[in-house]
Amino acid sequence: MMICLPIVEDSKNKAIEVAKEYLKYADIVEFRVDYFKEVSINDIKDLCQYPSIITIRIKEEGGFFEGDREELFKEAIKNNAKFIDVELREKLSRDLVEYRNKIKSETKIIVSYHNFKETPRY
C-alpha cells in the first residue's frame, strides 16, 4: 500500500513547504503543477527532488494548465521524477514513454483516463 497526498498550491515554494509536511505521513505527494500561477524548468527540477507524481493537467482534462507541457514533462523525466501523470487521450503520452526509454530514465509514467460524464462499465 502507498499513501499519496495531492498538493494544489499556487507556487513551487508553497508546494514544497506543504510537501515537506505531508511526507511525514505519506509515501509520496502529487504536485498538481497546473495549479501554479507560473512554472519553469527549474521549478520542475526542484520538485523532482521529492518522492512525487508530477501532474500538469490541461483544461480539457479537468486541470488549469494552458500551453505546451512537453518540455516540462521531459524535464521531469530527465531528473528522474518518481512518476509523471499524463492523459491517455493525448499523443504526448506515447511520445513521453518513448523519450523516457530513449534516455533510460527511472521515471514511471502513469497514463490516466478521466471521464467527466459517466463511469465506464468496466
Can you tell me which residue has the cell 508546494?
A: 15
Would you list the DSSP string of 56-83?
A: --BGGGT--B-S--HHHHHHHHHTT-SE
pLDDT in tens, 92-107: 989 999 999 999 999 9
pLDDT in tens, 9-65: 999 999 999 999 999 999 999 999 999 999 999 999 999 999 999 999 998 888 999
Q: What are the cell numbers at 72?
A: 516540462
Secondary-structure class of domain 4-112 per CATH: alpha beta
Q: Domain spans of the chain?
A: 4-112
Using DSSP's 3-state secondary structure scheme, residue 6 falls into: strand
pLDDT at residue 91, rounded to an integer: 82
Supply the angle between the helices 70-78 and 91-103 in degrees, to the nearest 10.
30
